Structure 1
Amino acid sequence: MSGASGASAPEFIGGGVTRRVSRLGDGRELFYYDDPGSTLPSERAFDARLLDPRPETARMRRDVLTGDWISVADARQNRAHLPPPEFDPLAPQTSRNPSEVPAMYDVAVFENRSPAFGPALPLAEAGAQASTGLGRSAVAGGRCEVVCFSPEFAGSFGTLSPARARTVIEAWADRTAQLSALPGIEQVFVFENRGVEIGVTLPHPHGQIYGYPYVTPRTERLLASLDREGDDLLDRVLDFERQSPRLLLEGDHWSAFVPYAARWPIEVHLMPHRRVADLAALSDDQKAELAPLYLRLLRGVDALYDTPTPYIAAWHQAPVHRDRDRVGLRLELTSPRRGADRLKHLAGSEAAMGAWIADIAPERIAEQLREALATVPERLA
């Protein structure tokens, strides 16, 4: 770090966005991503807090019946739960609020204080992940980061300006590249949880990034489908949906649609027309169109009802070290909301057997979403 500043000198990362690197009081990394033409000062405050040591890295246990790995992370029980605005842990620090970010920011990313994976990086434990038998465990090494979209107390990605949305997208791409380069990281997952109905404990506009020590079960299932259906499956799915009555939005580089076999009452997939492995591989043109198009999609989802809709926005990316020419980047946005005052709860068939029953025909919800999107201006502020 340079001089008296609590952050390094700025580095340009794309789209006119600059990155500054800092450290929190317990050694965790913090990254400031400044908007193009940001009015923030070049100097950033140090984190002067005296923090407890970071928790021990959790261990994960293998479910021998499914092959899945379960991270047992007890330290996550101590997370903040719906604090008042004056004690928002994601706001810039003040004399009364010893929050996680010491200085004012546009977008900030930092290592999670209570991670499900990490802080240690993955270790090779005598082939523990590949071995068979009962009672298998391994270090839950990896990386979990928090992405603050704005210093405001409340909001979501959909409430951002197009310019700020582009800054967040550049941060996602940069962090995807940086985490992919860490030893032992096998897959990087970018996501946003929105709404208390989803389990969100902080109203601050933010998302998260996980660097996993394995390829996730959902991606392994996709790879099995590619083996069965052909490596061009994702391209064929996109072509099929662009010709369907479930198409919602179409740009020069992206299309959004309700999938043919949607599970959730609200389910929208967003895919680039040119397949890329992950957010870091997007071109400038793809990123430039994504910012306003994704904002319009989210605002359309919110226009369905009189109150904001809870959702999970999940960016599916290719594994870091294999199958990158087969798996393409896509967003899957899902919501359990099946009416103005109704939620879909996963009961016996879905939760116990993984056998889904859709409450609303995909074509019907697509029609409702198109009507909602028609109320959202094409040029967003």
Structure 2
Amino acid sequence: MKKTSTRLADGRELLYYDAADDRDRDAHDPRPLTPVATTSEVRRDVLLDEYVAIASHRQDRTYLPPTDACPLCPSREGHRSEIPAADYDVAVFENRFPSLAGDSGRCEVVCFTSDHHSSFADLTEEQAALVLEAWTDRTAELSRLPSVEQVFCFENRGAEIGVTLGHPHGQIYGYPYVTPRTARMLDALRAHAEAHPEAPAGRAVNLFDQVVARERADGSRIVLDTGHWVAFVPYAAHWPYEVHLYPARRVPDLRDLDDAARAEFPAVYLELLRRFDRIFGPDQPPTPYIAAWHQAPVRHPLRGEFALHLELFTIRRTSGKLKVLAGSESGMGAFINDVSPEAAAIRLREVASEK
């Protein structure tokens, strides 16, 4: 893998990740861009002890442009995009309309492929492995920033999710705080350890280890288990179709994956994404989803006890119908799921790729 760092016309960083070492990346960005000006600030909600990013400048961000004006496609004559090169494998750049910036963190865009009409599920295993390398490298780099406490790599796919650009891409957020969902996991992790100072023989003390062990022992919600990765529908799934993917060896973030898990990941992840596209049948449009990497906070005392995992879920509950957050979910954060986790797991096993 070859990594090349350069700058866009307004000073934002752009990085190319190429599978071949001989790719020349000296393309100049000729656009007359003015420096990025943001209004990002982070405010604390004292009642919930949560932080909210205020970023009013994002109202002007690009919204569903036509294909020939896509800012994530390679540049060509007559169309200069965010990526000056005529082609690329994987490209990462600072978001021009960031939710977080400066002392309030950092936001980056990750373009998985130069093919506008593709999707992550269409990538080859070699391409998916390169994306994993990019995620890992950005996790390492952002973790070094003093303003970043947690690194979040994720992909939103589908207009139903709220995606504003159709080109296959994801994002990476460097939060200046520990996110609420992670904080709740850490609280549960701590409480479990305090309640079980000495576990019985053969029982896992770490809460994440115990969750994975229980799912493997039960088996009814396992979607796939390859030796180095295990994927299952969680016992108390929030979403109609939701899968959690864990490496067999617990690690705090992407940087710590061993070579075996890293080598096996592309095939495992591509298989899960392709199954998601088959859940609702061949006549349905591509399944909208969110794929979210949960990584340990950079400097938290329980960092070593946290378990890296990916949560993949869709808001589509059945053909032509979405799981819309109603009063209970949006108003009180109390979820009600229309699909049993066991039924979801059965369906996700039924749509496995033919060997």
TM-score, normalised with respect to structure 1:
0.86
C-alpha contact (below 8 Å) 1:314/1:333 kept by paired residues: yes
Take 1:24 and 1:166, find their aligned partners in 2: how far apart are those partners? Answer: 26
The one of 28, 39, 59 equivalent to 2:12 is 28
Q: Tell me, which stretches of 5 or more residues in structure 2 are unaligned?
A: 194-204
Report whether the alignment pairs 1:334 with 2:313.
yes
CA distance in 2, matches of 1:43, 1:234: 42
Task: Provide structure 1 residue ranges, at least 5 long, that are not aligned to the other structure.
Answer: 1-16, 123-140
Shift of 1:156: 2.4
1:43 positional shift: 4.1
Q: Deviations over 1:117-168 (max 9, x none)?
A: 00x1x2xxxxxxxxxxxxxxxxxx1110000000111332212111100000
Structure 1 equivalent of residue 278 of structure 2: 303
Name the residue aligned to 2:342.
363
SS at match of 1:219: helix
Give the SS at the match of 2:130: helix
Deviations along 1:28-70, one digit per CA (max 9) or x if unpaired, are: 11110001x47x7424311111102211351122112111111
SS at match of 1:325: helix
Say whether 1:272 aligns with 2:247. Answer: yes
What amino acid maps onto 1:336 in structure 2?
I
TM-score, normalised to structure 2, is 0.93
- Post-superposition Cα deviations, 1:332-373, rounded to whole Å, max 9, x if no partner, equal 111111111111111011110111111011000110110011
Amino acid aligned to 2:81: S
Amino acid in structure 1 at the alignment position of 2:268: L
Is 1:192–2:155 an aligned residue pair? yes
CA distance in 2, matches of 1:282, 1:47: 35
Give me the whole-angstrom Cα distance separating, in 1, the residues matched to 2:34 and 2:228: 47
Larger displacement relative to structure 2 (322-331 or 190-199): 322-331
Aligned to 1:72: 54
For 1:252, the aligned partner's letter is G
Distance in 1 between residues matched to 2:220 and 2:165, nearest whole Å:
37
Number of equivalences: 338
1:288 matches 2:256: no
Question: How has the CA–CA distance of structure 1 residues 302 and 90 changed in structure 2, closer, same or farther, with 3 Å as cutoff?
Answer: same
Measure, in 2, the Cα distance between the counterparts of 1:218 and 1:102: 37
Residue number in structure 2 paired with 1:318: 296
2:209 to 221, 232, 235: 235
- 1:20 counterpart letter in structure 2: T
Match in the other structure for 1:4: none
Q: 2:155 aligns to what SS in structure 1?
A: strand
Helix, strand or coil for the counterpart of 2:351? Answer: helix
How far apart, CA to CA, are the structure 2 residues paired with 1:44 and 1:255? Answer: 41
Percentage identity across paired residues of the two chains: 53
Q: Is the 8 A contact 1:158 1:295 kept in 2?
A: yes
| Distance in 2 of aligned mates of 1:330 and 1:213 | 21
Query: What is the alpha-carbon distance in structure 1 between the residues aligned to residue 184 and residue 276 of structure 2?
Result: 28
Letter in 1 for 2:335: W
How big is each residue's C-alpha offset from its partner over 1:85-136, in whole Å with a ceiling of 9 and x where there is no partner? 1111001111221210000210000000000000x1x2xxxxxxxxxxxxxx
The alignment yields a C-alpha RMSD, in angstroms, of: 1.2
SS of residue paired to 2:160:
helix
Checking the alignment, whether the CA contact within 8 Å between 1:248 and 1:366 is kept in structure 2 is yes
Change (3 A) 1:287 1:57: farther
Matched, 1:215 2:190: no
Task: Name the stretch that deviates more: 226-235 or 349-358.
Answer: 226-235
CA contact (8 A) 1:81 1:202 kept: yes
Counterpart in the other structure of 1:348: 327
Distance 1:154 1:144 in 2: 24
Indicate the structure with greater helix content.
Answer: 2
Which deviations, in whole Å up to 9, do the C-alpha atoms of 1:158-214 show, x marking residues without a partner? 121111000000000000000001112100000000000000111101000000000
Find the residue that maps to 1:184 and give its secondary structure.
coil
Structure 1 counterpart SS, 2:304: coil
| 1:110 equivalent among 56, 68, 93 | 93
Instruction: Name the residue aligned to 2:120.
Output: 157
Cα contact 1:155–1:203 (8 A) shared by 2: no
Output the amino acid matched with 1:223: L
Could you tell me how far apart the structure 2 residues matched to 1:155 and 1:65 are? 44
3-state SS of 1:308 partner: coil
Structure 1 range deviating more: 223-232 or 179-188 = 223-232
Deviation, 1:238, is: 0.7
Q: Does 1:262 align with 2:246?
A: no
* Structure 1 runs, 4 residues or longer, greater than 6 Å off: none
In structure 2, the partner of 1:88 is 70
Classify the secondary structure of the residue corresponding to 1:314.
strand
Is the CA contact (8 Å cut-off) linking 1:57 and 1:117 kept in structure 2? Answer: no
Tell me the equivalent position of 1:97: 79
